[in-house]
Amino acid sequence: MSKKYAKMLYKSPIGPLSLVADDHYLFGIWIEEKSDFEKGLSENDVTVVESHPILNQITSYLETYFKEQDQDLSGLPLAPVGSDFEKRVWNYLRGIPFGQTVTYGQIAKDLQVASAQAVGGAVGRNPWSILVPCHRVLGAGGCLTGYAWGLEKKAWLLRHEGASYQENKK
């Protein structure tokens, strides 16, 4: 028997977001038009709901975020998914303050990992975008690189927070 999830749609300034949770944890946040949309779920696993205790809490967090207010997200009920390495990286991401950025290389150094690319892979598999702020991670020299939802959305989120970054030169 497959696990059942609840889903709410949230209309954000960067596009419609799908919020999915079970009875205890937020499973993921996705933007509708991207290829990783609801990765790992089938239509039979998900029921659209108007209200849900976990998703109502997540909606409240997102409302606060889009009002340009920082908040303590340490109590987020995140699903226990991912490898031990991914969990270490995602936990690090949760500690990046609103409006600040770090580089993949800095995360690798801080976590004593030999490869910034391995860090990039873990950052890219973060299922809780915005709330576990992978958009605050930049390439070397503060360049805007890599974001599952597209660089234009990453740039929007960084501008929204007042964070500085370098545009990629073509």
Q: Which of 74, 132, 137 is nearest to 110 (CA)?
A: 137
DSSP assignments along 113-140, one per residue:
-S-HHHHHHHHHT-SBTTTS-GGGEE-G
Whether 134 is catalytic is yes
**Taking the CA of residue 45 as centre, how many other CA atoms within 13 Å lie in the half-sphere pointing to its CB?**
13
User: What tokens appear for 162 in the block?
Assistant: 């007042």
**Taking the CA of residue 154 as centre, how many other CA atoms within 13 Å lie in the half-sphere pointing to its CB?**
23
**Active-site entry in 89, 107, 119, 134:** 134
Distance, C-alpha 168 to centroid of its chain: 22
Looking at the annotation, which residues are catalytic? 134
